[in-house]
Amino acid sequence: MKAILLKRLFSAVEQGSSLDVKAVCKRIVEDEKRLGHTKLASDLEKSLNIAEKHKSLLKPHGPQTTPMGSLPSNKRDSAALIQVVERETLRHHMVLPSEVEQRFIRIEKEYAARSRLATFGLHARKRVLLYGPPGCGKSLGAERLAWATGLPLYKVRFDSLISSFFGETALNLGKVFEAAEKQPCALFLDECDTIARSRGDRNDVGEVSRVVNMLLQLLEDYRGDGLIIAATNHYDSLDKAIYRRFDETVELPKPGIVEIARLLKKTLSALQVEKNVDFDIFSTSVDGLSFSEVERIAQNAAKRSVMANRKKVNLTDLEAASNELKRHF
């Protein structure tokens, strides 16, 4: 991971992107903290704060990701069509199978090297479709991509975007993409099947087809300097033409035994764990659960230990948390 971060840092320096430099520096600081290198992390963080205070980082050559001046709104009641997700709240640590992790890294590295790729007539991946069962990291994946690229995350509000009035949904969608073209951002269309389901559906009405056609055209024509990230739990229900509009389609599967053990250790890393807890063995007992369910088990086990005034999480804590979750199935 350190080698990847260093390469990304030097790539950002090469392109003169202060936003990328700061994002990677902050990632290095967080990784050092996680590894327990508190003195080094503190020194690095202090240097970074001084640099930001005096604006001494490189002056960027490309478009800036400054806050969007005014959010697009619908015509009916002037409700915002986009929700701005504050950078401080972005989650970015993910536990993924190696192959999926490498695909995320490739998207991030290509974005950092987009100017260099352009000199050879090549385009960085900027339209990404994430799919898989609920609770397996699609929203987290969007947050990670925004955090790693330094882009602000703008989440499309379908409650405001979709309208019962003729032509208004397509109009709202156009406003959203127009805003994303003007201001580099990671535009997140969560549960995109809401507006991208198959036009061959028996219950299809003319308005559905118009919206899908509009989305296809907007994806095709997008020339912004950010990312378009769509996510769905219903991959097979999407219109077939949608798939071809994305540069990268990533499946986020349920965790295997290895990923479950890693996630349990990561979630419990702030506490001590009894030596007799074998994460590999316990992971087999919760195989088949989603990432969010496994994380909930670890969090509830930690709470159980803390509330009992014990210094270490034990196997009983984990088993009790697991049984409690399974009873709700």
Given this model, what pLDDT does residue 32 score?
72
Q: Where a domain ends, among 32, 58, 84? A: 58
What are φ and ψ of residue 136, in 5° steps? -110, 15
Answer yes or no: is 65 within a domain.
Answer: no
pLDDT tens for the chain, 329 residues long, are 455 555 456 555 544 545 556 666 777 777 777 666 777 777 777 777 766 655 544 444 444 444 555 789 988 788 999 999 999 999 999 999 999 999 999 999 999 999 999 999 999 999 999 999 999 999 999 999 999 999 999 999 999 999 888 789 999 999 999 999 999 999 999 999 999 988 765 555 567 888 999 999 999 999 999 999 999 999 999 999 999 999 999 999 999 999 999 999 999 999 999 999 999 999 999 999 999 999 999 999 999 999 999 999 999 999 999 999 988 76
User: For the chain, what is the HEC assignment?
Assistant: CHHHHHHHHHHHHHHCCHHHHHHHHHHHHHHHHHCCCHHHHHHHHHHHHHHHHCCCCCCCCCCCCCCCCCCCECCCCCCECEEEECHHHCCCCCCCCHHHHHHHHHHHHHHHCHHHHHCCCCCCCCEEEEECCCCCCHHHHHHHHHHHHCCCEEEECHHHHCCCCCCHHHHHHHHHHHHHHHCCCEEEECCCHHHHECCCCCCCCHHHHHHHHHHHHHHHHCCCCCEEEEEECCHHHECHHHHCCCCEEEECCCCCHHHHHHHHHHHCCCCEECCCCCHHHHHHHCCCCCHHHHHHHHHHHHHHHHHCCCCEECHHHHHHHHHHHHCCC
Same domain? For 241 and 295 the reply is no
The count of structural domains within the chain is 3
Given this model, what pLDDT does residue 174 score?
95
Here the tokens at position 47 are 């240097």
Burial class for 223, CB neighbours closer than 10 Å (0-12, 13-18, 19+) = exposed
User: What's the one-letter identity of residue 8?
Assistant: R
Answer yes or no: is 63 within a domain.
Answer: no
Measured between alpha carbons, how far is 31 from 277 in angstroms, rounded to an integer? Answer: 25
Same domain? For 88 and 166 the reply is yes
Same domain? For 38 and 156 the reply is no
Length of the chain: 329
User: What's the one-letter identity of residue 228?
Assistant: I
What CATH number does the domain containing 295 carry?
1.10.8.60
Same domain? For 143 and 94 the reply is yes
Same domain? For 233 and 296 the reply is no
What is the Cα 8 distance to its own chain's centre? Answer: 18
Answer yes or no: is 44 within a domain.
Answer: yes
CA 195 to each of CA 40, 131, 186, 215: distance values in angstroms, whole numbers, following the listed order = 48, 15, 18, 8
Same domain? For 24 and 162 the reply is no
Given this model, what pLDDT does residue 58 score?
40
Same domain? For 90 and 47 the reply is no
Given this model, what pLDDT does residue 329 score?
65
Give the contacts of 124 (CB within 8 A, at least 6 positions apart): 110, 111, 113, 114, 117
Classify the phi-psi angles of 91: left when phi > 0, otherwise alpha if psi is within -120 to 50, otherwise beta: beta
pTM, full prediction = 0.77
Domain residue limits at 304: 257-326
Same domain? For 51 and 102 the reply is no
